[in-house]
């Protein structure tokens, strides 16, 4: 009977999941993407359509300190460890649900001691106090005739896949955030260095003006104006220093350390190398490589399977049970002849009236599927938008850096000319002040433009999926053993 019931198991009501098709587009932006960016500062970045994303893409920045930082973060970051634990939970829940495919077998032993009362005539059975010992094995099996358990396992497997891709997304986000934090630290150090350079220039100009004031060549108002300009430039330094310290705190937290345990490594823009060759996966490939898209797809799969569960719950439920055991008044005779007993039973339960509960649960399952499908489409659109935004940013970053280099050179030359003319008394102080402010802005903009290229390059690798499929698993999973099925 058990074998026959198991043979009935295998069909499953409800829709079978089919992976959504990739969007029918061949590119990410309107028009044809240029093969490379502008050669800003002599460095052009080339796009290679169809090239795969490396698993450790951050190594392309050619910084051993950055690689060591990310390696430590991947080993110690608590958010990543929490995502790993969530994946283990999902997989163990799936394994637990698979146990419903097998019969439940329980062994029990009961010992009782009891006293019988006297009957109405006053007779007392002999003996009136006695022991009863019962040992039995019970088997219960619910054949999965309409696939309720099969769909439940399918849903849990999809949830485990969802957690797997969320783990990959956490891994990629962590690595990207560290790269961005390093770039921002390097940018702030560059801005601090530029501000200190401007402060030195302003102090030199102030000394020059004071000497000219002593000689009676300029008015006292010009000296006061330069002192105010110097104080204003110096006022910009503490906020940059504060941002740098906070950036160091962020970097330390991403590594899984406390703020007082900051790493000794310090980063500048000169310590990083801009990747020249950038991969650009095809749109059809992006669908299978973005972990957030795969996680959304797994969520659609899970809700699709739950429709089958809701349908199966409205159909007949079959149960088979059997008991085999022995009862004796003396434990030494528990397994002696004529003490054994057995029972075999089967039952079928068909829900007839539940007040519309099962029907509306099916409708809720179908609505959840529609919701997950819409969320999947939204995730795909957002992913394509991310790639398009980054590609646009990379092209404009190169142009902006090229203009920033030209602006910085022109502003520096203008400031040198103004200082020389001031020394000769051939220029008003206001023109020098304007040249000084222009150079300050140009120098800060140049540092920020250089940092933007690094940051947007890291964002491209993240937008393309982060190359998780090319990264070997750090810790192989323990395979299940036969003993696991008896727990």
Assess whether pLDDT exceeds 50 at residue 475: no
What pLDDT is recorded for position 3?
52
What pLDDT is recorded for position 90?
96
What pLDDT is recorded for position 219?
77
Cβ atoms within 10 Å of 467's Cβ, excluding its own: 21
What pLDDT is recorded for position 424?
73
pTM: 0.86
Tell me: the pLDDT tens digits for 365-380? Answer: 999 999 999 999 999 9
Distance CA 254, CA 277 (A): 28
What pLDDT is recorded for position 432?
77
Helix axes 64-76, 78-98, angle to 10 degrees: 50
Assess whether pLDDT exceeds 50 at residue 401: yes
Tell me: the pLDDT tens digits for 440-461? Answer: 899 999 999 999 999 999 999 9
Q: What percent of the chain has pLDDT over 90?
A: 68
Asked, as a colleague might, if the bond just before 233 is cis with ω within 30 of 0, I would say no
Assess whether pLDDT exceeds 50 at residue 102: yes
- Yes or no: say if 318 and 88 are a contact pair by the CB < 8 Å rule: no
Closest among 42, 35, 9 to 278, alpha carbons compared: 35
Whole-number average pLDDT of the chain:
88
What pLDDT is recorded for position 456?
96
Pairing type for strands 277-280 and 104-115 reads unpaired
Q: Distances in Å between the alpha carbon of 66 and those of 108, 176, 180, 278, 462?
A: 61, 11, 11, 19, 16
Give me the DSSP letters along 134-173: EEEEEEEE---TT-HHHHHHHHHHHHHHHHHHHHHHHHHH
- Yes or no: say if 312 and 487 are a contact pair by the CB < 8 Å rule: no
What pLDDT is recorded for position 2?
47
Give phi and psi for 390, each to the nearest 5: -70, -40
- Residues composing the chain: 487
- Yes or no: say if 388 and 25 are a contact pair by the CB < 8 Å rule: no
What pLDDT is recorded for position 40?
82
Tell me: the pLDDT tens digits for 198-248? Answer: 999 888 888 888 887 887 777 788 788 888 888 988 999 999 999 999 999
Domain 2-104+146-316+357-474+482-486: give its CATH superfamily. Outer membrane efflux proteins (OEP) (1.20.1600.10)
Assess whether pLDDT exceeds 50 at residue 5: no
Assess whether pLDDT exceeds 70 at residue 7: no
Q: Which residues, at least 6 apart from 139, have a Cβ–Cβ distance to it below 8 Å?
A: 2, 103, 104, 105, 321, 322, 323
Assess whether pLDDT exceeds 70 at residue 139: yes
Query: Which residue ranges make up each domain of the chain?
Result: 2-104+146-316+357-474+482-486
Give phi and psi for 193, each to the nearest 5: -65, -40
- pLDDT band at residue 482 using 50, 70 and 90 as cut-offs: very low
């Amino acid at each position: 009977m058990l074998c026959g019931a198991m043979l009935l198991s295998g069909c499953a009501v409800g829709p079978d999941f089919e992976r959504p098709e990739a969007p029918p587009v061949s590119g990410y932006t309107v028009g044809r993407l240029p093969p490379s960016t502008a050669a800003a500062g002599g460095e052009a970045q080339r796009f290679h359509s169809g090239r795969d994303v490396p698993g450790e893409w951050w190594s392309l920045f050619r910084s051993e300190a950055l690689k060591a930082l990310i390696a430590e973060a991947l080993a110690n970051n608590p958010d990543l460890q929490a995502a790993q634990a969530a994946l283990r939970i999902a997989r163990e829940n799936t394994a637990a649900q698979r146990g419903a495919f097998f019969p439940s077998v329980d062994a029990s032993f009961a010992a009782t001691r009891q006293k019988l009362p006297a009957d109405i005539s006053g007779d007392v059975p002999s003996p009136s106090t006695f022991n009863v010992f019962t040992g039995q094995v019970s088997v219960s099996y619910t054949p999965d005739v309409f696939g309720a358990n099969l769909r439940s396992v399918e849903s849990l497997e999809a949830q485990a896949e969802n957690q797997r891709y969320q783990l990959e997304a956490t891994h990629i986000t962590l690595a990207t955030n560290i790269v961005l934090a390093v770039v921002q630290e390097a940018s702030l150090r560059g801005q601090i260095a530029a501000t200190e350079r401007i402060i030195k220039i302003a102090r030199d100009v102030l000394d020059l003006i004071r000497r000219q004031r002593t000689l009676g060549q300029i008015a006292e108002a010009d000296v006061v104006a330069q002192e105010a300009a110097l104080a204003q430039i110096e006022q910009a330094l503490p906020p940059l220093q504060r941002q740098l310290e906070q950036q160091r705190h962020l970097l330390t937290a991403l590594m899984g350390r406390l703020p007082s345990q900051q790493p000794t490594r310090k980063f500048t823009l000169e310590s990083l190398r801009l990747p020249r060759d950038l991969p650009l996966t095809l749109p059809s490939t992006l669908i299978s490589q973005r972990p957030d898209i795969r996680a959304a797809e797994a969520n659609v799969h899970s809700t699709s399977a739950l429709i089958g569960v809701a349908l199966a719950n409205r159909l007949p439920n079959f149960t088979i049970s059997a008991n085999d055991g022995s009862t004796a008044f003396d434990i030494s005779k528990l397994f002696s002849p004529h003490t054994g007993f057995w029972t075999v039973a089967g039952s079928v339960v068909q829900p007839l009236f539940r007040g519309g509960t099962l029907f509306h649960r099916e409708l809720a399952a179908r609505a959840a599927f529609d919701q997950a499908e819409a969320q999947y489409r939204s995730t795909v659109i957002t992913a394509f938008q991310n790639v398009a935004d980054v590609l646009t940013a990379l092209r404009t970053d190169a142009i902006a850096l090229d203009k920033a280099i030209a602006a910085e050179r022109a502003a520096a030359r203008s400031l040198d000319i103004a200082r020389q003319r001031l020394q000769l008394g051939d220029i008003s102080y206001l023109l020098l002040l304007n040249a000084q402010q222009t150079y300050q802005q140009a120098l800060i903009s140049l540092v920020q433009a250089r940092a933007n290229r690094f940051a947007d390059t890291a964002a491209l690798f993240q937008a393309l999926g982060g190359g998780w499929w090319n990264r070997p698993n750090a810790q192989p999973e323990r395979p299940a053993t036969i003993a696991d099925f008896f727990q």
